[in-house]
Structure 1
Amino acid sequence: MSDSESREFCPRCGDPVPARAKPLPGAPRDRDARLCDACYFDDYEMIDAPDRIEVLVCSGCGAVQRGNRWVDVGARDYTDVAVDEVSEALGVHVDARNVTWAVDPEQVDETTIRMHCQFTGVVRETPLEASAVVPVKISRGTCDRCGRIAGGYYNAIVQVRADGRTPTPEERNRAVEIAEAYIADRESAGDRNAFITEIEEVDDGVDVRISTTQMGQGAATRIVRELGGSVENYPTLVTEDGDGNEVYRVTYAVRLPEFTPGDVIDPDDGDGPVLVRSVSGNLKGVRLASGAAYEEPFEGTDARRLATRDDAAETTVVTVEDDHAVQVLDPETYAATTVPRPAFFDPDAETTPVVKTRAGLHLLPD
């Protein structure tokens, strides 16, 4: 077969077309591949740009409405929103390679930004340039999430209380911090249903109102995991949804332990007082008479509080009598008193913290 017989010609203008690699069997065939470069570029558009883009932005959180849902885009201002939306809307021809583009925003007024877009690419080994101007109209509204927050919406209440006492200010603050950190993590993961509606200080603790029951349970579980105690839930029927399903609001009652780290307690087991070190899980501490570790479940103890570490006083070490006893000055009477020598006591110390309770005088670890 001669070269003239094997040569292909442009079906539009009749000019010869350079031989091109044939598609593999089963691969899609491009009709435009038979055109010469001149005819191909007559109809070629490297980019597909909309005439105009309208964007609805939540004035509360900055989320952008896309279709029927709101999306957090993390934009710093409306120009960033416009750049993101134009990037989503622009289309680049599939045949273009090595495509680069730049955008020059022009602020027309407070709600209109004109985006000047410039593209470069390579098509059929030919460098091409293309440009487009896309006006972006910014409208402000309120997303579902911000609307719910403004309306005081919540489905869970985390009530932080304590057994036989009121939670300390430190416990209240830490419980709120734990709940806020948990909800912030859910927000960062893209959950737009995650929010705290209200934090209310009450006489016997703190109440945290949270968007969903699942997140209320998650916050309560994390509070108990760190601060100790237990949690029980109490559902209340509040309404029915459009499909007739019952909708419940759940109260998660967090009950912190009776004791807190720093309490000096008497477990009433004959081995003397214990300085509480942790209340997470079980009751954990150190025996003041021996320095031995102490751990018991809360359910199995009849302990009572004798004092707290804040009641301790620094006193003088008179003498170390032997491996089991040390003599110190009573901080109230200044009389030399022999007390048990625990393992945590430093025999070279000149002073040591002590606490005086109904069980007697005991050394405390530094």
Structure 2
Amino acid sequence: MSETRDTRDFCPRCGDPVPEREEPLPGEPRERDRVLCDACYLEDFELVDAPDRVEVTVCSHCGAVHRGNRWVDVGARDYTDVAVDEVSEALAVHLKAEQVQWGVDPEQVDRNTIRMHCTFAGVVRGVHVEEEVVVPVKISRGTCDRCGRISGGSYAAEVQIRGRDRVPDPEEQSRAVEIAESLVAEREADGDRESFVTEVIDQPEGTDVKLSTNKLGKAVATQITEELGGSYSEAPTLVTEDGDGNEVYRVTFAVRLPKFRPGDVIDPDDGDGPVLVRSVRGNLKGVRMATGEPYEARFEEGETPDAETVGHVDDAVETTVVAVEDDNAVQVLDPETYEATTVARPPSVDEDAERVEAVKTDAGLYVLPEDGDDGDEGDDTADADPMVDE
């Protein structure tokens, strides 16, 4: 009787011998093409599966990419980066390929079309294979939901920056807007596309900042008052109902910055002379102009003691020191009359000082104490200007 050879040892397509292959483990599917020789197997093998073309919708305002049913911030430098990312997502490499390497060479055809030349290399059945595919990418532009809401003026919260018995100065208003933009940027970095500044409006009495959510508005108002002092109140207004019948409110956060600012010279009218305001966070804190002693408003007065503003550090001018009389007095030239005048000597004025900064108020002439004269090392004043509390 003749011996019959196992037909699986020969390629059914070309008849060449097929190398022995490991049998699949029990329960694993048997590969249909395992009976083919390497040459016949690789003849029909596709290393990469690529689409005929890729279409990408990009927000013309912020550059977000529409993927599925949502917009995604990709942080791309230009549309070529977007095209590379989208093609990378669309390509699929054969599971049987090992040691896969690939590269892409974009070709800008026109403003809206980028041709991606993709080169792949890998090892299949121990054989090195290469394949090149060309995928055109069509860029179309639209408007994402977020930018659409911004351009449509949509907002849920409004933060109004005002001063107590005064108009906030430009630096305070600018800083308040910076705080809002900074909080939005932090949320954007965490992937929150629902947080944005809709509009900033300059009003005669201050600045209004319109924001996308009530939660964001509360956070902005809180940080402004924590940094600049003051307080805020909330006033909700019913504007509509959502699809489920829930009431939708728009909240106005009225921020009231303190009456006094760091750098103000105030007179508490307590007989101890003017005070240079250092901080308005919590209780107002400062230093006595005449003695250099620390001052803090009573608890019940908080940040707004019963006092009048009599000057500001911006009004200070440099003047000549005539003589240092003793530990408590120094003689300087009055910057207006140029007469020698004896005034209180702050601890910061050295015996050999030649010139000092002085401010003239209704209560008299005072040499400005330098930061630290009040002995309060924990005072939260700005590094750039010892008279300004951020």
Q: TM-score band, normalised by the shorter chain?
A: 0.7 to 0.9
Q: Could you say which residue in structure 1 is the equivalent of 2:235?
A: 234
Instruction: Please state if 1:313 is matched with 2:317.
Output: yes
Q: Could you say which residue in structure 1 is the equivalent of 2:119?
A: 118
Measured after TM superposition, the shift of residue 21 of structure 1 is 8.5
**3-state DSSP class of the match of 2:302?**
helix
Change (3 A) 1:241 1:10: farther
Matched residues in 2 for 1:63 and 1:334: separation?
Answer: 65
Q: C-alpha deviations, 1:156-195, integer Å up to 9, x for none?
A: 1110000110011121122222222222232233222222
Matched residues in 2 for 1:127 and 1:9: separation?
Answer: 23
**3-state DSSP class of the match of 1:238?**
strand
Task: Give the letter for the 2:324 counterpart.
Answer: V
Matched residues in 1 for 2:164 and 2:250: separation?
Answer: 24
RMSD: 2.9
Instruction: Please state if 1:338 is matched with 2:339.
Output: no
Measured after TM superposition, the shift of residue 110 of structure 1 is 3.7
Q: Could you say which residue in structure 2 is the equivalent of 1:245?
A: 246
Q: Identity over aligned residues, as a percent?
A: 64
Q: Could you say which residue in structure 1 is the equivalent of 2:378?
A: none
Q: Could you say which residue in structure 1 is the equivalent of 2:353?
A: 349
Residues 102 and 121, structure 2, Cα contact 8 Å, conserved in 1: yes
Measured after TM superposition, the shift of residue 204 of structure 1 is 0.5
Measured after TM superposition, the shift of residue 30 of structure 1 is 5.9
Instruction: Please state if 1:273 is matched with 2:274.
Output: yes
Instruction: Please state if 1:360 is matched with 2:361.
Output: no
- Pairing of 1:11-22 with structure 2 (within 5 A): 15-20=17-22
Matched residues in 1 for 2:282 and 2:95: separation?
Answer: 60
Task: Give the letter for the 2:184 counterpart.
Answer: I
Matched residues in 2 for 1:122 and 1:159: separation?
Answer: 65
**3-state DSSP class of the match of 2:172?**
helix
Residues 17 and 34, structure 1, Cα contact 8 Å, conserved in 2: no
Q: C-alpha deviations, 1:17-68, integer Å up to 9, x for none?
A: 3354975x88x56636954534543553221111222222222222111111
In structure 2, stretches of 5+ residues that fail to align are 371-390
Change (3 A) 1:88 1:328: same
Q: Could you say which residue in structure 1 is the equivalent of 2:374?
A: none
Matched residues in 2 for 1:320 and 1:326: separation?
Answer: 4
Q: C-alpha deviations, 1:284-313, integer Å up to 9, x for none?
A: 322222223334455273232121113323
Q: C-alpha deviations, 1:215-237, integer Å up to 9, x for none?
A: 22222222222221112211111
Q: Could you say which residue in structure 2 is the equivalent of 1:324?
A: 328
- Pairing of 1:66-145 with structure 2 (within 5 A): 66-145=67-146
Q: Could you say which residue in structure 1 is the equivalent of 2:180?
A: 179
Length, aligned pairs only = 361
Q: Could you say which residue in structure 2 is the equivalent of 1:286?
A: 287
Instruction: Please state if 1:188 is matched with 2:192.
Output: no
Matched residues in 2 for 1:311 and 1:77: separation?
Answer: 50
Change (3 A) 1:171 1:32: same
Task: Give the letter for the 1:217 counterpart.
Answer: K
Change (3 A) 1:128 1:281: farther
- TM normalised by structure 2 equals 0.83
Matched residues in 1 for 2:227 and 2:119: separation?
Answer: 55
Measured after TM superposition, the shift of residue 109 of structure 1 is 4.1
**Which piece of structure 1 moves more, 114-123 or 146-155?**
114-123
Matched residues in 2 for 1:254 and 1:92: separation?
Answer: 58
Change (3 A) 1:316 1:52: closer
Matched residues in 2 for 1:317 and 1:138: separation?
Answer: 72
**3-state DSSP class of the match of 1:164?**
coil
**Which piece of structure 1 moves more, 59-68 or 106-115?**
106-115
- Pairing of 1:35-54 with structure 2 (within 5 A): 35=35, 36-38=37-39, 40-54=41-55
**Which piece of structure 1 moves more, 213-222 or 333-342?**
333-342
Task: Give the letter for the 2:316 counterpart.
Answer: A
Measured after TM superposition, the shift of residue 341 of structure 1 is 2.1
Residues 12 and 39, structure 1, Cα contact 8 Å, conserved in 2: no
Change (3 A) 1:316 1:133: closer
- TM normalised by structure 1 equals 0.88
Larger strand fraction of residues: 1
**Which piece of structure 1 moves more, 256-265 or 337-346?**
337-346
Q: Could you say which residue in structure 1 is the equivalent of 2:31?
A: 31
Matched residues in 2 for 1:362 and 1:78: separation?
Answer: 62
Task: Give the letter for the 2:302 counterpart.
Answer: E
In structure 1, stretches of 5+ residues that fail to align are none
Measured after TM superposition, the shift of residue 86 of structure 1 is 0.6
